[in-house]
Amino acid sequence: MTMLLARRTVQTAVRTKCCRSFSASQTQLNEKKGLVLGVFEKEGEEGGLHLTEAAAGFDQNLSGKLSELLKISGPTLKKGKSRIFYGIHKDFPCVAVVGLGKTSAGVCAAENWDTSKENIRQATSAGCRLLQDLEVNHVEVDGCGDAQSAAEGAALGLFQYDELKTKKRTKVTTQLHGSSDSTGWQKGVIYADGQNLARLLMEAPANHITPTAFANTIEERLALHADRVTINKRSQAWIEQQQMGAFLSVSRGSEEPPVFLEMHYNGAPDSKQAPLLLVGKGITFDSGGISLKPSASMDLMRADMGGAATVCASIVTAAALKLPVNIIGLAPLCENMPSGKATKPGDVVRAKNGKTIQVDNTDAEGRLVLADALCYGHTFNPRAIVNVATLTGAIDVALGSAAAGVFTNSDWLWEQLHKASVVTGDRVWRMPLFQHYTRQVTDSQLADLNNVGKYSRSGGACTAAAFLREFVTAPHWAHLDIAGVMDNKDEVPYLRKGMSGRPTRTLVEFAAGLAHSA
């Protein structure tokens, strides 16, 4: 009992001291500078903490004051939790200490990710947000033994779409504390910036990101890399010339003209290696067309171009990283709207490869625009094809927000995508491509294919993938259905609520892996 009273007396004294220091450091606080440091839970010792290298150096400069404060300020600092101290260092009026979990954490086969990297992302995100809430506008961040993951957590955690609000959050700049791995830090910043670009595009209202505005935004971003990138914004006349009847059938109900965006990143111009082809569904608003969606949550369909957003952001990121690989990106962009010109349920349209499609549900439009894009993409004889789309609500039912579904005809391609996702923590999960599903879309009353299949409510994600496979002849093709990971509520701790931009970092890591294995 005496020890307990003594401990409480010390805690009260330290809190009083911290409060006095806080009051005394108001002038310093106006400088808006903060620091994020990490601590691990010590293995085999209940309540024990192990400071990171940067935190230990900081503690040594303060003659052990940080360790003392951590011991007496409350329970053990668990993974993802944070604690803030005021006025303990003249250069940093605010110091956030964040929990990194166990030092032994690594790749977890059960979770299909690197737990250590995820812990670091979560921790640095929590620390930076805590300081942002205090209106600190410059934060130095502990690399925590993995500077790339620390940078990703910081930059992803601080992002919030407030472009159209009068009152905005404090803008925070971040930098690595010390110089342990500045290269890794910068790489992490670029990875996170790529995902944040996808989030920006997906979150913006559909009247701000029309097909034309989307294409112009990507053109502006890629202009910084004009020596390695060429971009073509194909018009409706070009789309008609290419006989992309499936794509045109979706766009015809809207007053906004369609755009077929084509990007070539030449990161290895002298390489004889065939290019990687990335194709993204670009429905900038999906009302469902004549098969109108319910009004509840229809506003979220501004992000139905998430496939195009992640693909384009991946190419922007690859260019920023100067990855030694050639990538071609295709984004068929349009709106899916009801009007007197819109496609009607039961209409039959003809795709670029000549196959006819009975459109029984105009809300199953993503597969139509992708069909023509995939046909066109084959003309480049790519090394591999990866298409990305917020394609079906069925994948959300199947996997939720834990992982993007992958349908592929190639074990090699699956292994490359899966390996990349373990590193990024933005997971993928393989789904079946059985002939069972193919028979459901090829059994059509009026045409070669039906866009929803025989049993529209059963295996919807699988029949959609089977439909796309009818437009693929390449031996290495993968379809990523990202509808379940389109937005974030609270599932990914280092992303705020809103559109997620997933799986941009996985696509970049995948492309980087191909570059290094070429």
Q: Residue 293 catalytic?
A: yes
Dihedral of the alpha carbons of 437, 440, 442, 443, in degrees to the nearest 10: 160
Q: Which of these is catalytic: 32, 199, 367, 502?
A: 367
Q: Is 367 a catalytic residue?
A: yes
Q: Give the DSSP per-residue string, 424-455.
A: HS--EEE----HHHHHHHH--SSSSEESS-SS
How far apart, in whole angstroms, are the C-alpha atoms of residue 127 and residue 124? 5
CA distance 13 to 19: 10
Q: Could you tell me if 315 and 221 are in contact, meaning their C-beta atoms sit under 8 angstroms apart?
A: no
CB contact set of 366 (below 8 Å; sequence gap of 6+): 281, 283, 286, 304, 307, 389, 390, 391, 464
- Could you tell me if 433 and 459 are in contact, meaning their C-beta atoms sit under 8 angstroms apart? no
Which residue among the candidates 228, 293, 350, 454 is catalytic per the annotation?
Answer: 293
The conformational region for residue 294 under phi > 0 = left, psi -120 to 50 = alpha, else beta, is: beta
Residue 498's region, left for phi above 0, alpha for psi from -120 to 50, else beta, is: left
Listed in sequence order, the residues at least 6 apart from 36 whose beta carbon sits closer than 8 Å to its beta carbon are 95, 96, 97, 98, 124, 127, 128, 131, 139, 140, 141, 142, 154, 177
Alpha-carbon 7 to chain mean position? 46
β-pair type (138-141, 33-41):
parallel
Q: According to the 3-state scheme, what is the secondary structure of 309-367?
A: HHHHHHHHHHHHHCCCCEEEEEEEEEEECCCCCCCCCCEEEECCCCCEEEECCCCCCHH
Alpha carbon distance 349, 465 (integer Å): 19
The 10 Å Cβ neighbour count of residue 296 is: 7
* Catalytic positions: 293, 367
